[in-house]
Amino acid sequence: MPAHPLKPPTRAPKWQHATRPREKMRALGVQGLTDAELLSLLLRTGTPQSQVIDFASEILDRLGGLRGLLKASPSELLAISGIGPAKQAELSAVGELVTRALSEALQRQPVFNHPDALRSALKIHLSHRQHEVFSVLFLDTQHQLIAFEDLFQGTLSQTTVYPREIAVRALYHHAASVILAHNHPSGLPTPSEADKRVTEAIQAALRPLDIAVLDHCIVAGPAVYSMAENGLMPMA
């Protein structure tokens, strides 16, 4: 029988043999890295107990993924063994850069021209919070973002909201309209009866000032519920 030539063995891509994400990035581009691999590039080193990629995975698991990492407080980061002041500062800076980039997109054009950017900003800002936080986006006459502020914080299931304080902040910013937002840490994103009542109360406080309440968004995990899109905004 004629001898068949041996086929050369198929070689795996170089990055499959790499132990460092940097080599994989050179082969596949930054989009080819997992969340843990991207984070490991920022961390650079692991701990005596864990390789850097394992350490990165542990951090993401503890903080609830990228959203939790980006909005983690300095004390939350420093509470993780292996993160000292230098790494905490770098990670906090990355989170702040992402937040500013999203805000910049909302400031350049009307907010409603960038619904995805608005939802992303709300999710990054609120989805990881362990307690209810009530935020307000203050907009100008062109619906461009002036400021994005946390005004009230509460418990796991409720927050006390003072419409008069929202009115004071709106006047301070010379806002023409506002978008309300808060999170539901332990529930669904659909609004409660209390959410509807507080929306009406804020509208009543801002109406004499000719400041419109355009929407009230509720964040629960990855979901963002818009009362305006679902026809639940009270008549102004």
User: Which pLDDT tens digits describe the chain residue by residue (236 residues)?
Assistant: 555 555 555 544 544 444 578 888 888 888 888 999 999 998 988 898 889 999 999 999 998 888 788 878 889 999 999 999 999 999 999 888 887 777 776 676 677 777 888 888 888 888 878 889 999 999 999 998 899 999 998 865 667 899 999 999 999 999 999 999 999 987 789 999 999 999 999 999 999 999 999 999 999 988 999 999 999 887 76
On whether the CB atoms of residues 86 and 95 are closer than 8 A, the answer is no
Whole-prediction pTM value?
0.67
How many whole angstroms separate alpha carbon 75 and alpha carbon 231? 40
How many whole angstroms separate alpha carbon 224 and alpha carbon 72? 20
Q: Where are the alpha helices (DSSP H) in 111-212?
A: 115-126, 163-172, 193-206
* Domains delineated in the chain: 18-98 (no CATH), 113-226 (3.40.140.10)
